[in-house]
Amino acid sequence: MPDPNPAVLDYLATRRSPGAKTFTAPVPDRDQLMQILSLATRVPDHGKLEPWRMIVLDRAAMAGLADLAEARARALDGDAEKIEKGRGQFDRGQLAVVVISSPKVAEKVPVAEQLLSAGALCMNLVHAATAAGWGACWLSGWPSHDAAFRAQAFGCGEGETVAGIIHIATPAPMAPDRPRPDLSKLVSWA
């Protein structure tokens, strides 16, 4: 018979997805963030490949990325909305961890599984930061998917992508929960 962990089940049942736009200072200090990162890296990584890396962004780094996103949007003939979407999360961000998916050449571990490991790291970062009392929000946005921006902003090389940008800071009071999926429409039994 399994031994349930009611505290974890309650956490998962009541977890919300706060908007990063509502986050304020303070943010975790270096020691607090290292504890969060240590917990977050307990993900399946198939043979200890560690097919990801992380970049911590402070306010100063995000200001530079906001300018870079705007310049890239203008180079792409972006309109005002594209510029705002590119700048937005960096202009308003307090602290973020960029998770870079960095697949390794591994005969027995498909790239798809390595990409999922980076996604699992993103979700674990959200859970670890939230469990530590911080607000956490997983974002990406068009700059994350733009090869030129990724290369200049995060030093992404061939085959590397941004799995997510996890914003971590002080959350605003919790808003009502959003509607959740109707499992009867999404689950089938074989």
Tens-place pLDDT, residues 36-55: 999 999 998 777 899 999 99
Please indicate, yes or no, if residue 120 is contained in any of the structural domains.
yes
- Number of domain units in the chain: 1
**Is residue 16 annotated as involved in ligand binding?**
yes
How many Cα atoms are found within 13 Å in the side-chain-facing hemisphere of 53? 11
For 188, phi then psi, to 5°, come to -120, 155
**Is residue 92 annotated as involved in ligand binding?**
no
Please indicate, yes or no, if residue 186 is contained in any of the structural domains.
no
pLDDT in tens, 114-163: 999 999 999 999 999 999 999 999 999 999 999 999 999 999 999 999 99
For 183, phi then psi, to 5°, come to -60, -25
Which residues, 6 or more positions from 44, have their beta carbon under 8 angstroms from its beta carbon?
A: 113, 116, 117, 120
Please indicate, yes or no, if residue 189 is contained in any of the structural domains.
no
**Is residue 144 annotated as involved in ligand binding?**
no
Please indicate, yes or no, if residue 1 is contained in any of the structural domains.
no
Please indicate, yes or no, if residue 12 is contained in any of the structural domains.
no
**Is residue 150 annotated as involved in ligand binding?**
no
Please indicate, yes or no, if residue 8 is contained in any of the structural domains.
no
Which residues, 6 or more positions from 17, have their beta carbon under 8 angstroms from its beta carbon?
A: 137, 178
**Is residue 17 annotated as involved in ligand binding?**
yes
Q: What is the pTM of this model?
A: 0.95
For residue 84, the model assigns a pLDDT of 96
Label residues 37-49 b or e (16+ Cβ within 10 Å = b).
beebbebebbeeb
Please indicate, yes or no, if residue 9 is contained in any of the structural domains.
no
Domain span at residue 56? 18-171
Q: Using CA atoms, how far apart are residues 147 and 161, in angstroms rounded to an integer?
A: 8
**Is residue 180 annotated as involved in ligand binding?**
no
160: CATH: 3.40.109.10
State yes or no: pLDDT of 169 exceeds 90: yes
**Is residue 15 annotated as involved in ligand binding?**
yes
Q: Identify the band that residue 109 occupies on the pLDDT scale cut at 50, 70 and 90.
A: very high
For residue 121, the model assigns a pLDDT of 98
Please indicate, yes or no, if residue 156 is contained in any of the structural domains.
yes
